[in-house]
C-alpha cells in the first residue's frame, strides 16, 4: 500500500514538473523568437516602445520567408510607396517609352511643390530640364516627393490619376493582395497644396499595404530590375553635376555601410516615415550568394524621432538572424544524380535556401525535383525552386527506342528502294524482251524468251518483298 502511495505521489510530482517545464520551454522559445529580444541580444539599445508593429525577412532569389511577425497587418508604408513608382518608371524604360537620359522640363507646379517645407524634397527650378536618371536618384536617395511626381507625370503624360491606377493594377498583378495606393510618393495628396491632385482619388487617404506585400514588391523590383540598387545604395550623391543646379543628396538609410547603423552588404532599398505610419524600412543586403529582403513597419511614434534610427537596429538584428541561420546555394548539379535511391538525369542545376549545417530532403514528383526546407513562399504567385529530371533507365530506354526507330526508318527506306528496284528491273527486262523479240519460222513451236522469265521473276520477288516489308518489317 505504501509502495502504491509513493508511486502515485511520485507520478503527480513528475506531472507538475513536466507542466512547468513545458511553460518554461514555451516561454523561452517565444522569447528567443521575439524581435525585441533578438535586437537587444544583438547589442542594440532599444525598448518595447520602439518594437515594430510588423516585420518580415525573405530570401531574394526564391521569395521564401525566413522570418515573419504580423506580416499581414494593414499599415501606411509612407515613402516606401516610392518603390512602386520606381517600378513603373523602370518598366516604362524597359518598354522603350523613354530612357535614363530623357529629360523632364520642370513646371511652375513642380517648383512650388519643391518649396513646401513639410514635404521631403530636393530643389527644383521651373523651366530646367532634369534627366530621368537624376530624378530617380532624388526619389530613392533623397526620398524627394517632387521628383516622384515628375517621374509619374512622365510615365502617364501628366495624367496623375492614371498613374495611381497603374500602381494599383501593378500591385494586383504582383500578388499584393492587401495594398491600395492613393498617391505616388507616400505623402497624402492634400499636403501638396493643390499642386498635385489626381482627379477622383481621395486626397486625404493614406496608402495602405503590409510587410508581406512590400516584400513582394521588393522581390519583383530586384528580380526584374536589378539595377535598382544603383539608385538605392549611394550614401551621398550629386545630381545635375556641372550645372548651376547641382545638388548633393543624402540617404536616410542609415544601415548603408559607412553610416550610423552601417550593415555589411546593405545596398538599399527605401525608408519611409509619417505621422500615421511611424518609422518604416524596406531593406536588402547581400552576403556571398545570399541576398535577403526585409520590411520593418511601425517603429516607435512620429513624435519621437529616435524611431528613425531605431528601425535600423531591428532591421540589422533580424538580418543577422537570417544570415546566420540560412544560406542560398547550389543543391544539385546538372547531369547524373542518385536521389532517394533512384538514378536520375537532372536537366539543370538546382539552387535554393537551406538551413546551415543541414542537408536537403528531395521529393520526386512527375518529372520535377523539389526539396523540403520547411519554408513557404511570400506569395502564392511565386513558385518554389525545382528542377526537371528523367529516370536514367527510362531515359536510356527512350534513347534506345529512338535509335531503333531511326534505324528502322532508315532500313525501311533502304528496303523499299531495293524492292522497287527489283520490280523496275523486272519490268525493264520484260520490255527489252518484247523489243528484241524475233518471230519464229512458220510451223515452229513458240518459245518463251528467257529475259521475260527472268523479268517476271524479278518483278514477283520485288512485289513479294514489298508485301513482307509492310507486314513484318524491313528485311535488310
Of the listed ranges 179-188, 253-262, 283-292, 354-363, the one predicted with least confidence: 354-363
Q: What is the pLDDT of residues 179-212, one digit of tens each?
A: 999 999 999 999 999 999 999 999 999 999 999 9
Measured distance CA(375)–CA(237) in Å, rounded:
39
Check whether 13 has a pLDDT greater than 70.
no
Query: For residue 446, what are the CA distances in angstroms to 57, 426, 456?
Result: 105, 22, 18
> What count of Cα atoms within 13 Å lies in the side-chain half-sphere of residue 127?
0
Annotated catalytic, 11? no
Tell whether the model's pLDDT for residue 469 goes beyond 90: no
Q: What is the largest CA-CA distance in the chain?
A: 143
- Give me the mean pLDDT over the 387-391 stretch: 87
Active site residue 386: no
Numbered residues of the known binding site for substrate: 270
Q: Which helix (H) or strand (E) holds 134?
A: helix 132-140
- Other beta carbons less than 10 A from residue 142's beta carbon: 21
* CATH topology assigned to domain 330-393: Spermidine Synthase; Chain: A, domain 2 (2.30.140)
Q: Which residues are annotated as a binding site?
A: 270
Beta bridge partners of 287: 290
Mean pLDDT of 345-350: 90
| Annotation says 223 is catalytic | no
Catalytic residue among 55, 85, 120, 143: 143
pTM of the model: 0.76
pLDDT-derived band at 440 (thresholds 50, 70, 90) equals: low
> CATH second-level architecture of 48-327?
3-Layer(aba) Sandwich (3.40)
Given the residues 55, 79, 120, 233, select the one marked as catalytic.
79
Q: Point out the catalytic residue in the list 51, 82, 233, 379.
A: 82
**Residue 427, pLDDT score:** 83
pLDDT (0 to 100) of residue 429: 76
Closest CA to 286 of 270, 272, 271, 268: 268
Amino acid at each position: 500500500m505504501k509502495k502504491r502511495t509513493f508511486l502515485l505521489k511520485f507520478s503527480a510530482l513528475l506531472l507538475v514538473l513536466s507542466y512547468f517545464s513545458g511553460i518554461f520551454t514555451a516561454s523561452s522559445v517565444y522569447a528567443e523568437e521575439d524581435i525585441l529580444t533578438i535586437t537587444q541580444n544583438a547589442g542594440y539599445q532599444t525598448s518595447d516602445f520602439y518594437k515594430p508593429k510588423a516585420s518580415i525577412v525573405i530570401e531574394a532569389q526564391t521569395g521564401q520567408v525566413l522570418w515573419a511577425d504580423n506580416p499581414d497587418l494593414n499599415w501606411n508604408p509612407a515613402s516606401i510607396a516610392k518603390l512602386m513608382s520606381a517600378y513603373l518608371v523602370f518598366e516604362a524604360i524597359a518598354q522603350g517609352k523613354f530612357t535614363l537620359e530623357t529629360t523632364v522640363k520642370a513646371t511652375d507646379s513642380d517648383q512650388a511643390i519643391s518649396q513646401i517645407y513639410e514635404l521631403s524634397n530636393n530643389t527644383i527650378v521651373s523651366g530646367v530640364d532634369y534627366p530621368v536618371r537624376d530624378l530617380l536618384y532624388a526619389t530613392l536617395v533623397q526620398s524627394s516627393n517632387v521628383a516622384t511626381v515628375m517621374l509619374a507625370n512622365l510615365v502617364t503624360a501628366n495624367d496623375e490619376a492614371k498613374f495611381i491606377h497603374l500602381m494599383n493594377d501593378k500591385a494586383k498583378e504582383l500578388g499584393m493582395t492587401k495594398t491600395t495606393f492613393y498617391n505616388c510618393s507616400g505623402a497624402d495628396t492634400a499636403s501638396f497644396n493643390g499642386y498635385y491632385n489626381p482627379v477622383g482619388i481621395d486626397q486625404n487617404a493614406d496608402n495602405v499595404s503590409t510587410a508581406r506585400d512590400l516584400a513582394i514588391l521588393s522581390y519583383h523590383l530586384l528580380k526584374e530590375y536589378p539595377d535598382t540598387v544603383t539608385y538605392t545604395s549611394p550614401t551621398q550623391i550629386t545630381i545635375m553635376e556641372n550645372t548651376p543646379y547641382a545638388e548633393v543628396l543624402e540617404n536616410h538609410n542609415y544601415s548603408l555601410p559607412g553610416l550610423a547603423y552601417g550593415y555589411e552588404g546593405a545596398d538599399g532599398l527605401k525608408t519611409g516615415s509619417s505621422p500615421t505610419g511611424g518609422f518604416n524600412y524596406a531593406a536588402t543586403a547581400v552576403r556571398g550568394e545570399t541576398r535577403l529582403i526585409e520590411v520593418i513597419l511601425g517603429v516607435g511614434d512620429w513624435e519621437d524621432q529616435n524611431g528613425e534610427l531605431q528601425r535600423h537596429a531591428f532591421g540589422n538584428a533580424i538580418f543577422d538572424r537570417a544570415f546566420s541561420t540560412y544560406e542560398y546555394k547550389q543543391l544539385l548539379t546538372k547531369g547524373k544524380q542518385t536521389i532517394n535511391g533512384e538514378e536520375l538525369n537532372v536537366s539543370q542545376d538546382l539552387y535554393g535556401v537551406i538551413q546551415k549545417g543541414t542537408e536537403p530532403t528531395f521529393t520526386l514528383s512527375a518529372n520535377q525535383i523539389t526539396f523540403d526546407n520547411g519554408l513557404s513562399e511570400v506569395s502564392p504567385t511565386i513558385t518554389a525552386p525545382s528542377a526537371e529530371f528523367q529516370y536514367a533507365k527510362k531515359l536510356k530506354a527512350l534513347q534506345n527506342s529512338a535509335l531503333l526507330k531511326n534505324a528502322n526508318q532508315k532500313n525501311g527506306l533502304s528496303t523499299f528502294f531495293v524492292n522497287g528496284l527489283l520490280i523496275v528491273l523486272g519490268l525493264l527486262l520484260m520490255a527489252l524482251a518484247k523489243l528484241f523479240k524475233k518471230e519464229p519460222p512458220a510451223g515452229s513451236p513458240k518459245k518463251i524468251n528467257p529475259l521475260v522469265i527472268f523479268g517476271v521473276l524479278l518483278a514477283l520477288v520485288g512485289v513479294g518483298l514489298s508485301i513482307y516489308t509492310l507486314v513484318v518489317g524491313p528485311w535488310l
